Structure 1
């Protein structure tokens, strides 16, 4: 049985090393294999269509554990994420996330347990797609504003785009502002601003080209 980390690195501030060290620290495990797709869109490219995503489906076997930072590393398309996770757990693979420490497997036999598991998979997949769409809209709004009014950068964000994605995910899961601040090393004031207007936070990163 193997424990495999899958990472999707889509921006310059994201690194496979960061995702690996964060996962090992949070879960207290060592990985047998680390697989990464670099510069691949989680919206436009399905997991099975990515070079290393395809390899992932080839090597995973019953009893293996697949770890991802969050479900958005598998994809930001609802159908793709739900189909991928369900296929893997039907194979006997356990899927774990570092953020929120969610665990999906096919061991449930009770219909209610299955329903709860499947509902959670669907909710997390929908959240990943919603975040991608919100970020895209924020980018469009920021570009339009800059064209019409000139560029006004405002305060430089104290967080990276990767950190913004993580904070939004943690907020959605109900974690407290203080807990997120402690884990991410970001001020509570910045997290409050993200919670109040995540689209504005994304636009600020675009304005500073971060």
Structure 2
């Protein structure tokens, strides 16, 4: 019997996986199982080499639905993400995203539809990698900024954690509006705007509070 499986991933030990499951359920997905990797980088570790990622490849069968919050949960390496999605589609697996409720499968045989689908997958995978690279630079800048104020006033504690910051940045990269992002994350519009306008400062605020 086909199953609906959520794959969740967080890259650092201070992040949590629970919200990805909650988001999927709120979006209407009836999950049979959750497969999750905790503290695993989507940049340096391809899906097949992650402890639970390996199990995902073993589990998925024709007719199954693979749910991910967004393609960046599969990985942030362009080649890995595109190869993974295409392999799953060849197996007859349907891939669905929680954000924007997108669906990818190998059912279509129309060349034009295939071209549009593949171009969209490529764009999403490229966006995931570009976002990872931008975040890495922001983290570096944030750490340097934090070093300069050690022992001094840290400012107001951020109303977001790393998970939420990542979600804001991902949705912003996809072109989501401020109001949409605020509703999805539970943050105020003002906070979302500050993060979008200055991601380096947003990262620095977390560093100052040791988050």
Q: TM-score, normalised by structure 2?
A: 0.91
**Counterpart in the other structure of 1:41:** 41
**Counterpart in the other structure of 2:160:** 159
**Alignment root-mean-square deviation, CA:** 1.7
Alignment size in residue pairs:
208
Greater alpha carbon shift after TM alignment, 125-134 vs 46-55: 125-134
| 8 Å CA contact 2:142, 2:200 repeated in 1 | no
Distance 2:181 2:140 in 1: 28
CA deviations on 1:91-118 (whole Å, 9 max, x unpaired) are 1101111112111111121222111111
How far 1:68 moved relative to its partner?
0.8
Q: Please, which runs of 5 or more residues in structure 2 have no aligned partner?
A: none
Distance 2:25 2:8 in 1: 13
How far 1:23 moved relative to its partner?
0.5
Superposed, 1:75-90 pairs within 5 Å as 75-90=75-90
**Counterpart in the other structure of 1:182:** 183
Q: Please, which runs of 5 or more residues in structure 1 have no aligned partner?
A: none
Instruction: Give runs of ≥4 in structure 1 deviating > 6 Å.
Output: none
| 8 Å CA contact 1:100, 1:173 repeated in 2 | no
| 8 Å CA contact 1:13, 1:160 repeated in 2 | no
**Counterpart in the other structure of 2:193:** 192
Q: Does 1:65 align with 2:61?
A: no
Distance 1:205 1:124 in 2: 27
